[in-house]
Amino acid sequence: MRFQQIAAASKILSSHLPRMRRPNASRQVSSVASALKNSPIFRTMGLIGGKWVEAYDHHTLQVNNPANGELITEIPFMGTLETNDAISAASEAFKSWSKLTAAERSKYLRNWYDLIMAHKEELGQIITLEQGKPLKEALGEVNYGASFIEFFAEEAKRVYGDIIPTPLGDRRLFVLKQPVGVVGAVTPWNFPLAMITRKVGPALACGCTVVVKPSELTPLTALAAAELALQAGIPPGVLNVVMGNAPKIGDALLASPQVRKITFTGSTAVGKKLMAGAADTVKRVSLELGGNAPCIVFDDADLDVAVKGALAAKFRNSGQTCVCANRIIVQEGIYEKFAEAFSKAVQNLQVGDGFTEGVTQGPLINESAVQKVESFLQDAMSKGAKVILGGKRHSLGMTFYEPTIVTGVKCDMLLASEEVFGPVAPLLRFKTEEEAIQIANNTKAGLAAYLFTKNVQRTWRVSEALEYGLVGVNEGIISTEVAPFGGIKQSGLGREGSKYGLDEYLEVKYVCLGDMNRT
């Protein structure tokens, strides 16, 4: 089952389940954590040149479970020296990896995919343990993340050049596509597996080597995936993982002339800094940055479809995705009906530890995330918005937050102008199609957008008018490995996934052969 189906299934509403953790939840989590620590894929050191290494100064960083605050393990707090060694290892490995045939690289990637799927349960448990999302969603992420490795294992054999008709009879013109070189990949905590495979898959398929810097909040998934890459036979140095001091690691990646490309998923602010830093060595840059996704519900929408789609688009991963519906913009003729139906659906979302059966909403990643949600809500209420559901920390404590719906939201409120990254659904009202498009496009972001309507002509008009890289029509879960993922405006540069994702890791070389008429 693909990620979209599993993620959607995880949002199917529970019927009258209590919104609390079961008494044995803590013991269950401890049992899972103990079992994982004995797993051969559970790694706690960095990977440089095929070897598992500690930080050179032996400094460490704690990794905690966001659901209960308990220490999972400690990881190396790496910095400049370790990153430079990882870059050197990747540069050395590039000499041989880039010379392999596409078919050979494809086999390595296929082996990696098979091992990821064979260890699906363990990977899902690691994701839930360190990131907090419900286990069903975590397993869906494993499927989704693995799909990029499978897809690019196949696409590796389809990197085609070109023959150009020559204007001169004694010349032959052709185009080669060659790997960029060493890639620095910086990934976030909200999808700790998929955001890595979506970058590493095409990079390795094209013949590049990679230094990955995962989030310090969720490094264990990245290390487990790297262990499986080694088991798959991917040569030492082709994939390296360093984590710890993010500024120093980032600066080392930017400063090195051996690193020819930076690929990053994360905040727009950090993306801008990486883009500026890459200028000194003129690196290629791919950026998948923040969003402010509108979800437009027209009067002629199927109410059930709109509620289901908005629920999935808003509350997946507790609202902590870059494509989450950040603004639900509802036409006035259906506004009240939608608000009522949506509220009933959201009331049935079960909040709790991700290992508890039936839970659809896990914790927010940390205290800072909760405080951001609270500040956005306070701003909205001070300007006249009304909380009709939720609006406060959950009784479970820690960083759990009640799924929240806010009405009367205006465009000048933080909830509408910035990315909340939490389980808060702001409802805005509009009258005309033109007004909906104006509200939707009134943002610096341009990643994902959603619309719900039965009108085919409107579907085309609005989809073309929306200034976004992805548009979902009557669907709230739209990401897939076979389609290009990426934004416009300040939501980023480049595309990930699909055949277009390969181009981000390839250089185009033109070759002219002269004096071809000589015998």
- Residue 172 CA to residue 164 CA, distance in Å, equals 8
- Residue 299 CA to residue 354 CA, distance in Å, equals 36
* CA distances for 64 relative to 51, 127, 262, 337, 426, angstroms: 25, 12, 28, 42, 31
- Residue 501 CA to residue 5 CA, distance in Å, equals 23
- 424: helix, strand or coil: strand
Q: Is 260:80 a contact under the CB 8 Å cutoff? A: no
Q: At what angle do helices 246-255 and 80-97 cross, to 10 degrees?
A: 40
Asked if 130 is an active-site residue, the reply is no
Strand partners, 52: 47
Q: Is 216 left (phi over 0), alpha (psi -120 to 50) or beta?
A: alpha
CB atoms near residue 16 (< 10 Å) = 6
Cα-Cα-Cα-Cα dihedral sign, residues 190, 194, 198, 203 = positive
- List, in sequence order, every beta strand (DSSP E) within 332-480: 386-389, 404-407, 424-430, 448-452, 470-473
Site of tokens 């010349």: 171
Site of tokens 């990131």: 131
Burial of 13 (0-12, 13-18, 19+ CB in 10 A): middle
- 295: helix, strand or coil: strand
- Residue 67 CA to residue 63 CA, distance in Å, equals 12
Burial of 89 (0-12, 13-18, 19+ CB in 10 A): buried
Q: Which of 82, 288, 433, 504 is catalytic?
A: 288
Q: Is 447:290 a contact under the CB 8 Å cutoff? A: yes
Enclosing H/E stretch for 118? helix 102-118
Which positions are annotated as active-site residues?
Answer: 288
